[in-house]
Amino acid sequence: MAKRKDVPSKRQAVREKRRQQQRQQRMVIVLVVAGVALIIAAALAYPSIRNSLQPVGEITPITPQARPMADGTAMGDPNAPVRIDVYVDFQCPACRGYSEQIEHQVVDSYVATGQVYYVFRHFPFLDDGVPTQESDQAANASMCASEQGRFWDYHDILFANWDGENQGTFSDNRLVAFAESLGLDMDAFNACFGENRYQDVIEADLAAGRRDNVQGTPSVFVDGQLITPGFVPSYEDISQAVEAALQSN
C-alpha cells in the first residue's frame, strides 16, 4: 500500500517543480519587462538621458574672435550712450545669419568705438513642447561657458555647428563636445551644465522678452525700442536706430 501511495506523490512533486519553474520564468519575464519600461520612462521623462545616447558626430571648430570689453553675455562700455539688447534662440537660423553677417558690423562700428553697450539675451522658444529641449540646453551650456569667460566663443561654436531645429544638433553630448573643443575646464563645465545652474537667468531673459512683446528671434532693441518688428533687421536698420539714439542722448 505504501508503494502505491508513493507513485502519485512523485507525480505531484514533478508537477510542483514544473509549476515553480514556470512561476520563476514568469517572474523573470515580468522583471525584464518592468526594467525595460523603467528605462523607456526615464528616457522620456529626462531628455538628457536620451540625448546622452546620441553620437557626437563631426564638430566644426572655430577660431576665437576678440570682443571689445567682453563681460559675460555683454560687450562694450556699460556707460556707453546707447544700449542694444538682442534676443536670440541658438536654434534659430535667422539668428545664425544675423550673428555671422550683421552683428560683427555693429560691434566694429559702434561697440568697439564706445558708443554702444551690447547685451545678448536668451529667448529659447523653438523647442517648446519638444522633449529634447535643445534651445534651452544650448542656452544652459553657453552660460556655463560664460562662467569661464568664454560665452562669445561658445556662442560662435554653436552657430558654426547649427544644422537644423530639434534635429539633435545641440544634443547634450554635442554641447559637451563643443566645450571640450574650446579647451574649457570640463569638470567645472560638466558640473554647471548638469545642474542647469543658470536656468533662472535664462528664464528671466525669456520673461523679459515676453514682456517686451518679442515674437521671434533675433529681436533687436535699441535703447528699449524694438526695431523692425517681425523682421530680421539689417545693419542699416540698426545703424539708423543707433544714430537717432545718439543724437537724442
* Mean pLDDT calculated for residue range 149-168: 97
Is the pLDDT confidence value at 171 over 90?
yes
pLDDT of residue 23: 75
Lowest mean pLDDT among 7-16, 40-49, 110-119, 133-142: 40-49
Instruction: Answer for the pair 91, 126: CB distance below 8 angstroms, yes or no.
Output: yes
pLDDT of residue 2: 41
pLDDT digits (tens, 9 = 90+) for 46-100: 444 444 556 788 999 999 999 999 999 999 999 999 999 999 999 999 999 999 9
Residue 82, phi-psi category: left (phi > 0), alpha (psi -120 to 50), beta (remainder): beta
Give 1 or 160, the one with higher predicted confidence.
160
Separation between Cα atoms, residue 47 and residue 212, nearest integer Å: 30
* Mean pLDDT calculated for residue range 212-226: 97
Grade residue 183 by pLDDT with cuts at 50, 70 and 90: very high
Is the pLDDT confidence value at 101 over 50?
yes
The CATH code of the domain at 74-248 is 3.40.30.10
* Mean pLDDT calculated for residue range 194-208: 98
Is the pLDDT confidence value at 122 over 90?
yes
Residue with cell 544714430: 243
Mean pLDDT of the chain: 89
Grade residue 34 by pLDDT with cuts at 50, 70 and 90: low
Q: Using CB atoms within 10 Å of the CB of residue 3, give its burial: 0 to 12 exposed, 13 to 18 middle, 19+ buried.
A: exposed
